A and B are shown apart, each in its own frame.
Chain A
Amino acid sequence: MFINPEVPLDSLPSADDLDWQPLHPRFVRRLQVGALVRVLVVGIIGSAAYFLMTSGDSAAMARFADRLLPFALTAFGLFAASVLLWPMIAVPRRGYVVREKDILHKSGVLWRSVKAVPFNRVQHTKLDSGLLDRRFGLANLSVFPAGAGGHRIRGLGTDTAEQLRVYVSERIEAEALDPADED
């Protein structure tokens, strides 16, 4: 495929067999709590709609609501179960690797992706954590190369995230200052 006499392809570092770092164990719980909140919101809206429909004047509307109820409950049950269980499936399949020259991030259960961002293309980094994240002692690390919105690694322990951020920043500096080593 390529002809590249100086660097034999086989000797190139491969991003396939890597020691993927798992996300923080509490991240599953955090996502589940987030999902629970969403389930509750949907449930409240749904039951409010049901009571509005049945308590109204229209008998036809009430009959319609009653006919719809089993379907709605089944759909709601499936939604709740999948949303609550999904983090347990998805989180173990996510992970990251920090190498000397780049950071890799894999994610996805059905659609799987492995993203790599070289440090010498990173413009800046960002740490963020929401209300729930903080309760679970978690933080999210984003690295921003040019042109895209950035790559966000969610569900790191606060300490790990801070260490990573410092490391990435150092690497960015190092890559920028590295003397010419012309390719």
Chain B
Amino acid sequence: MSRSDPGAWQRTSPFAIVFFIGRTIKSFTRSLIQLVATFGALAVLIERNPQVALVIPVGILAIIVAGVLEYWFFRFRIEEDRIHIHQGIARKTALDLPFDRVQGINVERSLIDRILGLVTVSLDTAGSATAEGQLPSVTSELADDLRTRIRAHRPATVADGIATADEQAEEATPAAEESGRREPSPGQVILKLTSGDIARIGFSNRNLVVAAAVLGLLGQSLDFAEDRLRPIFESAGEAFAGAGALIQVLVVIGFVLVGLGLVLFGALLRYHGFTLWREGTAYRTRAGLLTQREVVVEARKIQQLTLSHNLVMRLFRRHRLRALPAALLPNQGGADAAGLQIAEVLEVPLLRARQAEDLRTRVFGREGDALTLQPRSPAFLRVSPVYIRALTLRISFTGALVALPFLVPLLQSNAGTNLADAVQGLLGETPMLGAGSAGTVALGVLLWWLVLIPPAALIAWVRWRRQGYLHDDDGLASRSGFLGRKVDAFLFRKAQSVAVVQSPLQRRKGLATLNVQLACGPLSVPYIDHGIACRLRDYMLYRVESSRRRWH
């Protein structure tokens, strides 16, 4: 059990039972509505017939038995170049996973795992969704051994990336990597988050904005809270007469504090002790207060770097960086859409601009020197202002269409009559528009669309200002955003396919949109000169087609 004896079938640690039970419960609770409905129905049934309550212990027992059985039937065997995993109680599945198809190994340690010194290993596969290789509750030695095997089995590459000096040095001393659960040596650590950073992550939580909006809505139902709370205050001797306003303020402050506490705690849970380090040819992160998660992504498998920041992060002058590996490789078998498997994304939740640039140069190596991830960089080229026009039209049309189901009944009612009267009064014409007639409806929709144009134009203008691109010999960076900003950067040789698309408007203006398909998803540069788009496409094809390096 302690070592991964090649060829022998083995079970994981019995503590995996907890994992299987947890997984069953998780799959049960995946849909909250379903859960609430089930419990609601159960409650009603128990109320009518208390004997139904027996269902609960029986159900719990069934889940536990299922967990034990799953553990019993879960067996794996590690061979030189592959791992076999057999599992399933009724429906047996046999997974045969060759190591060279493994995109990444991720290690997760739940609270129980940590107490017992175990880990749960997930193997990211570049294949079908069913090929989910997960080993619950195994020893960390086994996880390390597996990682070494997978790395050792990496196909011999012709020219595998530009090995930097320190990378080669690390490859030369693999012995250091073998020793148990590896703590990153100080030299390898690239970045660590402090508690201040984690507080910043909490404050820049997107949900906080949503929470504020919800709070606004709650403000309207505060009377309710007031009614509930007033008796308490009154029983306290009617200390103050105008307690109502005070209670409202207190309730709002209470909500704010609770919300803040929740997001801060969430950030702490997820990112406590966040460490990013480089190990051999891979980047690894580890973080988490109770459940510690590790993400490992091989440097050469990174397809794209995405730097983003929202409004709050802008205030803190911090960014978020994501390194995206190939999301899915189509199955060799030909089942195309079924082959979806999202690989683990390496995320640095908070870092400074300088650190982001440093990481970019590390990941891209010598390539893409002139690229930058800084949204403020003056090197970014603007796209054509025609983009504003196209976007204004698109946004306002969408707005008008979305409003149509609400607008039509409204126009057919009184408001429509008034509108028709107003227009006729304005034009001084004989009545030809009646309330509810097709004419009024069309006129109303038209007016609504016209009303939408100025705000749409404003949005489009802001988005145009954010839009930008820049490229050098090796890669391209595309900037976009509305309130926040985002920069996506990739190397030309990692492109999977390229398309130049022209709308009728773009054709008239000699513009085009460049769509690049990467293994992690699409990326587009809208409204650039058609000639430039074509040249970029041809150059990109040249770079891809003349590249002999592995792209993943």
Taking Cβ atoms with an 8 Å cutoff, the residues of A that contact B are: 1-4, 7, 9, 12-16, 101-102, 108, 110-121, 123-124, 126, 142, 144-151, 178-183
Q: Which residue of A lies closest to B157 (CB)?
A: A180
Overall SS of chain A's interface? loop
The smallest C-beta distance from A175 to any residue of chain B, in angstroms, reads: 8
Chain B nearest CB from A84 CB (Å) reads 23
A121's partner among B336, B337, B544, B546 (CB-CB below 8 A) is B544
Decide: B497 and A3 in contact? CB cutoff 8 A.
no
Please tell me if the beta carbons of B534 and A16 are within 8 angstroms of each other in the complex. yes
**Alpha-carbon distance between A1 and B551 when the two chains are bound, in angstroms:** 25
B: residues with CB less than 8 A from A are 158-159, 303, 326-332, 334, 336-337, 471-473, 493, 495-504, 507, 515, 517-522, 532, 534-535, 537-539, 541-549, 551-552
Pick from A15, A147, A180: contact of B517, CB under 8 Å: A147
Say yes or no: A3-B473 contact (C-beta < 8 A), given A112-B507, A147-B326.
yes
Shortest B539–chain A CB gap in Å is 6
Do A111 and B497 contact each other (CB < 8 Å), given the known contacts A15-B537, A16-B534?
no
Top 7 closest pairs, chain A to chain B, by CB: A145-B496, A146-B519, A147-B519, A101-B545, A115-B499, A113-B501, A144-B330
Which residues of the partner chain A approach B542 to less than 8 Å between Cβ atoms? 7, 12-13
A-B contact pairs, 12 of them (CB 8 A): A2-B471, A102-B545, A115-B499, A116-B499, A117-B497, A118-B497, A123-B332, A146-B519, A147-B329, A150-B336, A180-B548, A182-B159
A15 to B535, CA, bound (A): 9
- Classify the secondary structure of B's interface with A: mixed
Q: Are B545 and A144 interface neighbours, CB within 8 A?
A: no
What is the minimal beta-carbon distance from B24 to any residue of chain A, in angstroms? 33
Q: Is there an interface contact between B548 and A181, defined as CB atoms closer than 8 Å? A: yes
Question: A14-B534, A118-B545, A149-B336 are contacts. A124–B500 as well, Cβ < 8 Å?
Answer: no
Chain B residues positioned under 8 Å from A117 (CB to CB): 496-497
Instruction: Contact check, A121 vs B158: say whether CB atoms are below 8 A apart.
Output: no
Whether B330 and A183, one on each chain, are in contact in the complex, defined by CB atoms closer than 8 angstroms, is no
Q: What separation, in Å, do the CA atoms of A110 and B502 have in the docked complex? A: 8
CB-based contact B518/A147 at 8 Å: yes
Provide the residues of chain A in CB contact with B334, threshold 8 Å: 124, 126
Contacts of B549 in A (CB 8 A): 182-183
Q: How many angstroms from the CA of A115 to the CA of B334 in the assembled complex?
A: 21
Tell me, rounded to whole Å, the shortest Cβ–Cβ distance linking A34 to chain B.
Answer: 22
CA distance A178 to B473 in the complex (A): 24
Partner of B501, one of A4, A112, A179: A112
Which residues of B lie under 8 Å from residue A123 when comparing CB positions? 329-330, 332
Q: Nearest chain B CB to A138's CB is how many angstroms away?
A: 19
